[in-house]
């Protein structure tokens, strides 16, 4: 049985500054580890809204909470729809929001999903099993140029062009159906001397395909401003990212919302009226300790950024 270890659990929960009776959102329920800790703090008088687009994550959490209907509400949806989710629930502002952008061990190791290159599985990669776009569709139907763009932009893959060409050549013979078929194509494309680094040669390609399949960066770009707006004054938002593309989006939106007056320096009185919405709690991102890295190698790229709402 796969056991999921929540990354930066202590740091993220402490950073949310939760109290008894707080109203909190776990925007990416996953294995439920962060939600479990939130519930311990907010108690029966608090409320937790747990969101995930993966129905298996929702179902697994519900089974652990037979008394749902009290202080826990689970919602199967994408966190990019946070504003609508809260409105439909009749909830105005909340005290804390957490988003862990990584995949749970359960998702990575589920052979039906095909997220990982470590086991042979159908090329799917959808978090929402009702979604229409799959990794199989991308590698078999996108143009060679589109595949190269995705691998370069979302995977920062230096061999994006040659991998895309090998994919296009192979699918002329037969459709590419499984993760191991794709790994074989990648291994053939990348020169031997570059295949023995710190990460597996397929890592960046699989990252890029997961991002495209689930539109992850677009959804994150929509989510973060909504999350800031949904906070009560004094409420906190904590986001754990796992690669530079995610972290850059979070960092830039935090910075934009932490800006006050943008008038020229020689204006004696502010004319723009702009005031900062948040203050950034983590001047530098929090990263896993050596102890956590030893017990959970998947946490190695995690970065936690926290902000606090200072005005509506």
Where is the domain boundary, 185, 214, 243?
Answer: 214
The number of beta carbons lying within 10 Å of the beta carbon of residue 13 is 22
Q: Which of 82-91, 197-206, 276-285 has the weakest average pLDDT?
A: 197-206
Same structural domain for residues 97 and 237?
yes
Average pLDDT over residues 45-68: 87
4 within 8 A of 31, measured Cβ to Cβ: yes
Q: How much is the mean pLDDT over the chain?
A: 92
pLDDT band at 4 (very low <50, low <70, confident <90, very high): low
What is the residue range of 210's domain?
A: 114-214
Structure tokens at 30: 């996953």
Could you tell me the two tokens for 236? 């906190």
Average pLDDT over residues 284-310: 92
Residues 16 and 57 in one domain: yes
Count structural domains, the chain.
Answer: 2
Residues 33 and 173 in one domain: no
**Residue bearing the bigger pLDDT, 262 or 43:** 43
Q: Which two tokens stand for residue 224?
A: 């973060």
101 with 221, same domain: the answer is: yes
d(CA 167, CA 135): 12
- State the maximum Cα–Cα separation within the chain, in Å, rounded to a whole number: 70
Q: Do 41 and 185 lie in a common domain?
A: no
Smallest CA-to-CA distance from 216 within 182, 199, 241 is with 241
Query: Which residue shows structure tokens 């699918």?
Result: 171
CA–CA separation, 186 vs 197, rounded Å?
15
- Quick check: is 253 in a domain? yes
Distance from C-alpha of 21 to C-alpha of 236, rounded to nearest angstrom: 15
Query: What's the CATH number where 71 sits?
Result: 3.40.50.150
Of the listed ranges 4-13, 79-88, 157-166, 259-268, the one predicted with least confidence: 259-268
Are 247 and 285 within 8 A, CB to CB?
yes
What is the distance between the alpha carbons of residues 107 and 2, in angstroms, rounded to a whole number?
Answer: 10
d(CA 241, CA 156): 16
- Look up residue 94 and give its DSSP letter: E
Other Cβ atoms less than 10 A from the Cβ of 106: the count is 19
Global pTM? 0.92
Same domain, 80 and 221: yes
Average pLDDT over residues 246-270: 91
Q: Is 268 in the same domain as 125?
A: no
- Backbone φ, ψ for residue 211 (5° rounding): -65, -45
Please tell me whether residue 243 adopts helix, strand or coil conformation.
coil
241: helix, strand or coil: strand
pLDDT over 50 (residue 284) = yes
Same domain membership, residue 267 and residue 239: yes
What is the structure's pLDDT at 1? 39
Alpha helix locations (H) across the chain? 9-15, 33-42, 55-64, 82-89, 105-108, 135-141, 144-155, 160-173, 179-189, 203-214, 216-230, 244-257, 290-295
Query: Which residues share a beta bridge with 208?
Result: none
DSSP bridge pairs for 157: none
Q: Do both 254 and 295 map to the same domain?
A: yes
Q: How many CB atoms lie within 10 A of CB 270?
A: 12
* Domain presence at residue 1: no
pLDDT in the model for residue 266:
82
Express each pLDDT in 117-147 by its tens digit. Answer: 888 999 999 999 888 899 999 999 999 999 9
End-of-domain residue from the set 214, 235, 268: 214
What is the H or E stretch that residue 74 is in? strand 72-76
pLDDT in tens, 71-116: 999 999 999 999 999 999 999 999 999 999 998 777 777 777 888 8
The residue from 214, 245, 275 where one domain ends is 214
Place of tokens 């939106």: 253
> Per-residue DSSP letters for 164-228?
HHHHHHHHHHS---BHHHHHHHHHHHS-GGGSSSSS-TTHHHHHHHHHHHHTHHHHHHHHHHHHH
């Amino acid at each position: 049985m796969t056991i999921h270890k929540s990354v930066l659990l202590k740091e993220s929960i402490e950073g949310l500054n939760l109290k008894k009776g707080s109203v909190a959102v776990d925007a990416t329920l996953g294995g439920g580890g962060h939600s479990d800790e939130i519930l311990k703090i907010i108690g029966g008088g608090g409320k937790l809204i747990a969101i995930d687009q993966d129905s298996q994550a929702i179902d697994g959490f519900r089974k652990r909470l037979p008394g749902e209907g009290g202080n826990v509400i689970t919602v199967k949806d994408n966190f990019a729809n946070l504003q609508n989710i809260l409105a439909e629930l009749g909830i105005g502002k909340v005290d804390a929001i957490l988003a862990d952008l990584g995949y749970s061990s359960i998702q990575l190791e589920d052979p039906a999903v095909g997220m990982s290159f470590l086991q042979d599985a159908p090329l799917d990669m959808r978090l929402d099993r009702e979604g229409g776009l799959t990794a199989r569709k991308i590698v078999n139907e996108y143009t060679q140029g589109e595949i190269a763009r995705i691998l370069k932009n979302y995977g920062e893959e230096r061999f994006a062009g040659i991998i895309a060409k090998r994919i296009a050549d192979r699918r002329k013979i037969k459709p590419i159906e499984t993760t191991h078929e794709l790994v074989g194509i990648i291994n053939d494309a990348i020169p031997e001397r570059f295949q023995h680094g710190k990460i597996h040669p397929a890592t960046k390609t699989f990252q890029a395909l997961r991002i495209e399949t689930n539109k992850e960066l677009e959804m994150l770009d929509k989510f973060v401003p909504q999350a800031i707006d949904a906070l009560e004054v004094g409420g906190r938002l904590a986001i754990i990212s796992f690669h530079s593309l995610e972290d850059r989006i979070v960092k830039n939106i935090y910075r934009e919302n932490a800006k006050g007056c943008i008038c020229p320096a020689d204006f004696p009185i502010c004319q723009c009226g702009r005031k900062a919405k948040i203050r950034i709690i983590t001047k530098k991102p929090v990263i896993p300790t050596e102890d956590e890295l030893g017990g959970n190698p998947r946490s190695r790229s995690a970065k936690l950024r926290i902000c606090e709402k200072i005005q509506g």
